[in-house]
Amino acid sequence: MPPQFNTRPAHLPLGERQNSRFYGQHIVSVKQFSRLDIEHIFTIAEEMRIMVERVGTFDLLKGKVLANLFYEPSTRTSSSFTAAMERLGGSVIPISEVKYSSVSKGESLPDTIRTLQSYADVIVLRHHEKGAAEIAAKYARKPVINAGDGPGEHPTQALLDLFTIREELGRIDGLTVTMLGDLKYGRTVHSLAKLLALFNVTVNYVSPDILRMPAELVDELDGRGLSQSQFSALEAVLPKTDVLYVTRVQKERFDDLALYESVKGAFVITPETLKIAKQKMIVMHPLPRVGEISMDVDDDPRAAYFRQMEYGMYVRMALLAMVLGKA
Ligand code: NCD
């Protein structure tokens, strides 16, 4: 049975803002969000930014506990959720090395989730299997936030990506977004493309042949009216691009490492590459980068990938406050 995204678990304490959007809900897929929801999340993220700039840390989630459960490596997602929770006055149970937890003794995901929800009010989960967040949500009485399920989705990243675009370029409608790199296994582009389908944008996919956007996803988004085109060379689309979204080839998803080696360096952005790009455009990357963007690009004002990380914390603060009924 699929998780009941819109059902508030009955046990959640009274006295919180139960009518607030997303109170007590799991965040598993970007498909849960409407344009109005996105506007709402962004408004709260803006408020979070102002509060962090003014006071640094405040007590909105004082007494609340987040369990950060990571079965796959992470720097930004894990630490930005921790920072988000701590800046809101809450605390964090960090399980970022599952090999030191009972997972290495063979504990199942449902049992690990049952355990953590006995101690925490919200669970952030990253897992190597597509669909893992949905399974966790099925067993959880507390909100589960998907922080990446294998090559599936990464909804909080897509929200922060969209927030970055809006903050940097002032709008989303009317833009041309070019996604580059590993579009087959990259969960960030899967979620971002789905979210962009809510807007009036043009999306270009540029990748090696074997790393194209999955056909089922392209078909689904076609059905939702998203304007999409596939290319094998970046030069064809770069001059018209407003957002160049670069991704890492996801080495950990390849069974055949020789195949990975054959595509890993297919696209590298350098200052030379950007000569044909607009002056008012941005280069994004969910990070980590492993050579897809040369370090000489970092000082270009169009390089938005480090600013993108910071926006992530405000968006995650907003989401935590919302699912815990405090926004
Ligand atoms: C991405 C991920 O884990 O999907 N990183 C992130 O969350 N910022 C991208 C990647 O690992 O390539």
Residues 40, 327: Cα–Cα separation, whole Å = 10
Q: Are 67 and 199 in a shared domain?
A: no
Q: Are 224 and 285 in a shared domain?
A: yes
Q: How many angstroms does the Cα of residue 71 sit away from the middle of ligand 1?
A: 13
Q: What is the pLDDT of residues 54-77, one digit of tens each?
A: 999 999 999 999 999 999 999 999
Residue 223 has pLDDT above 90, yes or no: yes
Q: What is the pLDDT of residues 133-156, one digit of tens each?
A: 999 999 999 999 999 999 999 999
Residue 13 has pLDDT above 60, yes or no: no
- 15 located within any domain: no
Q: What is the pLDDT of residues 74-119, one digit of tens each?
A: 999 999 999 999 999 999 999 987 877 888 888 999 999 999 999 9
Q: Are 170 and 114 in a shared domain?
A: no
Nearest ligand 1 atom to the CA of 157 is 7
Q: Are 201 and 224 in a shared domain?
A: yes
Q: How many angstroms does the Cα of residue 239 sit away from the middle of ligand 1?
A: 27
Residue 68 belongs to domain spanning: 30-153+312-323
Q: Are 141 and 279 in a shared domain?
A: no
* Ligand 1 within 6 A of CB of 148: yes
Give the confidence band of 8 by pLDDT, cuts at 50, 70, 90. Answer: very low
**Considering the entire predicted model, what is its pTM?**
0.94
Q: How many angstroms does the Cα of residue 173 sit away from the middle of ligand 1?
A: 25
Tokens of 24: 């007590």
* Ligand 1 within 6 A of CB of 312: no
* Ligand 1 within 6 A of CB of 181: no
Q: Are 189 and 227 in a shared domain?
A: yes
* Ligand 1 within 6 A of CB of 248: yes
CATH number at residue 285: 3.40.50.1370
Q: What is the pLDDT of residues 259-284, one digit of tens each?
A: 999 999 999 999 999 999 999 999 99
Q: How many domains does the chain have?
A: 2
